[in-house]
Amino acid sequence: MSKRTIVALPGDGIGKAVLDETIRVLDAAGFEADYVEGDIGWEFWKSEGNPLPDRTKELIKKHKIGLFGAITSKPKDAAFEELSPELQSKGLVYSSPIVGLRQHFGLDICMRPCRTYKGNPLNFIRRAQGDNFDEPEIDAVIFRQNTEGLYGGVEWSDPPEQVYEALMTHPKFDKNFGHVPKDEISVSTRIFTKNGTERILRAAFNHAKKYGYKSVTVCEKPNVIRETSGMMFKMAQEIQKTDFPEIELWNTNIDAQMMWLTKNPEDYGVIVAGNMFGDIVSDGFAGLIGGLGFACSAQFNPETGIGVFEPTHGSAPKYADYETSIVNPVAMIESACMMLDFIEENEIAKKIRKAVAEVIAEGKVRTYDMMKMRGTANVINEGAATTVEMADAVIAKL
């Protein structure tokens, strides 16, 4: 088989540090690939007025697989101020390149596994009977619809007349908001399509079946958000009944789920939700397994085979300029393992996961977050491993 080309998208801040180390780990594990670098992020917004240049989209289209670090996003005003002066008169509006990638390539399946590593000092523990504590072993995989719903971008402040009139045809809008001046109304829509909903549900059920999870939980709020959440749950019932009768279908409300998170997180297997609730519930679970240094994700389109794999964390600007990087590369390394699974390099993925697990279980090499330190440049003197040392430890196990 010919050598693969991976589009390396370091982005901003700590993105580059974690991506560089991850590529070293991939090399050490015997993954043979060429890497081409794709431009993305704040730097390109400032200099070109576009954080996701067309040439980057072309690269991803051609090579299909992207490994992405993190980007910086800033509010509207800051985005305008930092734009290079000659571009400021062009009416450019900043929008997140990562959301742009999802929508451009229809990367509608987002998958965020949250698995406990034995020996991670950040693992969630729970008070048990008497003075005892439990450390539940969590193995949940969140499937988040990635392109629709509340993050679909269909929103207005002071909506156009036609939109306002359409809203007024709904009796509840008329009754509850009809007396409010139009220019005092902001509307963000939550659009679910049958196709998008079916795709995320099937991805979740297929994953449960393939990896032997006993349940799929739809985590929405169908009793209140009747149309969108309601549609998702109803479709899940149909899909389960016809195609996955051996898998149990559970239904939780997002608010209750966040409460139960610390009660019985080990009971959940595959969880599926719309865009926003999926974002929330996946961050909730990530917090139980060590937080941002450990939370990995994949977003892909099963039909085109295009996928972008990235840690959940952002660019952590306060650590970006450290001479020696202190952040934890595990989330990025785990995201690369998801990439390997996606391109069916499962054996290499397994090897890397085993090496990471051994390093964590051994506990000799730990980044500052694992030592519960406040992140400063001084943590290295206090015994925390650097980003490079953490990757070195994984490589040594390989």
Interface positions with ligand NAI (CB under 6 A):
18, 70-74, 98, 292-293, 310, 313-318, 327-328, 331, 369, 375
Pairing type for strands 155-157 and 126-127 reads: unpaired
Residue 1 to residue 347: CA distance in whole angstroms: 16
Torsion of CA 363, 15, 112, 231, to 10 degrees: 160
Closest distance of CB 334 from ligand NAI, Å: 11
Which residue from 320, 379, 305, 392 is spatially nearest to 70, judged by alpha carbons?
A: 320
Residue 9 to residue 100: CA distance in whole angstroms: 14
Residue, CB closest to ligand NAI: 314
Residue, CB closest to Mg ion: 279
Q: Copy the structure tokens of residue 357.
A: 């697990």
Closest distance of CB 228 from ligand NAI, Å: 24
Closest distance of CB 387 from ligand NAI, Å: 8
Closest distance of CB 44 from ligand NAI, Å: 14
Taking CB within 5 to 8 Å according to partner kind, which of Mg ion, ligand NAI, none is near residue 279?
Answer: Mg ion
Taking CB within 5 to 8 Å according to partner kind, which of ligand NAI, Mg ion, none is near residue 293?
Answer: ligand NAI
Residue 398 to residue 396: CA distance in whole angstroms: 5
Nearer to ligand NAI, 233 or 309 (CB): 309
Residues in contact with Mg ion, shown as a per-residue x/- string from 274 to 293 under the rule CB under 5 A: -----x--------------
Taking CB within 5 to 8 Å according to partner kind, which of ligand NAI, Mg ion, none is near residue 194?
Answer: none
Judged by CB under 5 A, how many residues of this single chain contact Mg ion?
Answer: 1
Q: Copy the structure tokens of residue 318.
A: 């306060």
Question: Please, where are the H alpha helices in 275-345?
Answer: 275-288, 317-320, 330-342
Closest distance of CB 120 from ligand NAI, Å: 13
Taking CB within 5 to 8 Å according to partner kind, which of ligand NAI, Mg ion, none is near residue 369?
Answer: ligand NAI
Taking CB within 5 to 8 Å according to partner kind, which of Mg ion, ligand NAI, none is near residue 331?
Answer: ligand NAI
Half-sphere exposure of 71 (CA within 13 A, CB side): 25
Residue 91 to residue 87: CA distance in whole angstroms: 8
Q: Copy the structure tokens of residue 272.
A: 């599926």
Is residue 21 involved in binding Mg ion (CB under 5 A)?
A: no
Do the beta carbons of residue 45 and residue 51 sit within 8 Å? yes
Taking CB within 5 to 8 Å according to partner kind, which of Mg ion, ligand NAI, none is near residue 71?
Answer: ligand NAI
User: What phi, psi does 388 have (nearest 5°)?
Assistant: -65, -40
- State the residues that interact with Mg ion by CB under 5 A: 279
